[in-house]
Copies of this chain bind each other. A is one copy, B any other.
């Protein structure tokens, strides 16, 4: 089995952290100067590790193995949230580099073909998972057209400014890969709370969104009697509270739902609001609770609309993401490596956050490995993990990669 080099791994993670560093955090959004600098550095490291490195037309860094046979794709993303942590994405990118180096330095695994990748714009500056969509061929012109960041910059302008306008967009070669492995910090508290060190991801939760639009009648808050009011905010408060009362009855163990955005017009203390909006988002690893939640929300809206007064319309807020199951065979290889290096300290678990693996899984069997996030904190400068967990996770990934490739090439 290959042995990773803990010092080399941690040193590379810290170098990458230095590109776009802000205090303890990192500001390296997709296509920013820091992001492109990081991608050029990653490409050089890939070459030093013996890979054939390319930055493609959407900014993906792909390092292709020169070895023949079935290959394994390993990686994550190196772009960050606008105020991001140092490990979100970066961990999996440097793990991939180290796995390639570890495989190459062991006689038994030197012949295996591991490709490394750093995807672009997983964090949705323009298009969430832009890079993995592009590499796997599911990025449509429809998705790309009209993509702007929150400052109004278009994706096309960002590509031009990053010097990528002429570069070809790479696609994974059909049949080349036995699988895709993505390692990531958990971004939640489960592993840390339970004292576990490795999570073998069983699936990525699905997500649906609904937007409720409430149309009432704006009025004077002193002279309009209660019986005559058509108060959009009153309807919003009722629907939101009833959803929070009804959803637990249909929830699975890890179902979550959030109503984090509301808009009330004109939002003045002394005016009966005539218009309001409420966003509802819900996630689960299975379709059944998602179906049940949607049915409950629609039933509550129908009940309230039947009463009259405020009219409630329902719109799908975004394209639903179906739950994704991680490949069972790949999971077994990660689980076996975890059991070897962290006996009793690993568990299977779904991912509550979305990842590139959720995109890649549509085309290539995929699996994920989590290491603990201290305090469950992520998308924040304070995001961190313990060095010993970082090192352990990479060794488990390297073992799993070697086992997967050995098995695939024995079959193949």
Contact = CB atoms under 8 A, between A and B. Distances in A.
A262 B260 contact: no
B220 A187 contact: yes
A18 to B, nearest CB: 26
Contacts of A248: 226
Contact of A260 (B205, B257, B264): B264
Given A225-B254, A352-B223, A259 B271 contact: no
Interface in A171-212: 186-189, 205, 207, 209
Q: In the complex, which range does the number of interface residues on chain A fall in?
A: 35 or more
Contact of A269 (B186, B234, B281): B281
A145 interface: no
A140 interface: no
A86 B188 CA distance: 59
A256 B260 CA distance: 28
The complex is assembled from copies of this chain, and their number is: 2
B207 A226 contact: no
A393 to B, nearest CB: 17
A153 interface: no
A41 interface: no
Q: Which of A256, A266, A354 has the most CB of B within 10 A?
A: A256
B255 A260 contact: no
A379 interface: yes
Contacts of A242: 241
A189 B272 CA distance: 15
A262 B264 contact: yes
B258 A231 contact: yes
Interface string A268-298: 1111110000010101000000000000000
B254 A244 contact: no
A15 interface: no
A238 interface: yes
A283 B225 CA distance: 11
A69 to B, nearest CB: 37
A189 B228 contact: yes
B220 A188 contact: yes
Contacts of A264: 260-262
A221 interface: yes
A260 B251 contact: no
A186 to B, nearest CB: 7
A224 B257 CA distance: 10
Interface string A132-149: 000000000000000000
Contacts of A353: 220, 222-223
Contacts of A378: 220, 223
Q: Which of A248, A267, A270, A353 has the most CB of B within 10 A?
A: A270
Given A188-B220, A241-B241, A260-B264, 4 more contacts: A222-B283, A224-B352, A238-B241, A261-B264
**7 nearest interchain CB pairs?**
A188-B223, A237-B240, A241-B241, A223-B352, A222-B352, A221-B258, A269-B279
9 contacts: A188-B224, A205-B222, A220-B379, A223-B376, A226-B255, A231-B260, A258-B270, A263-B267, A270-B281
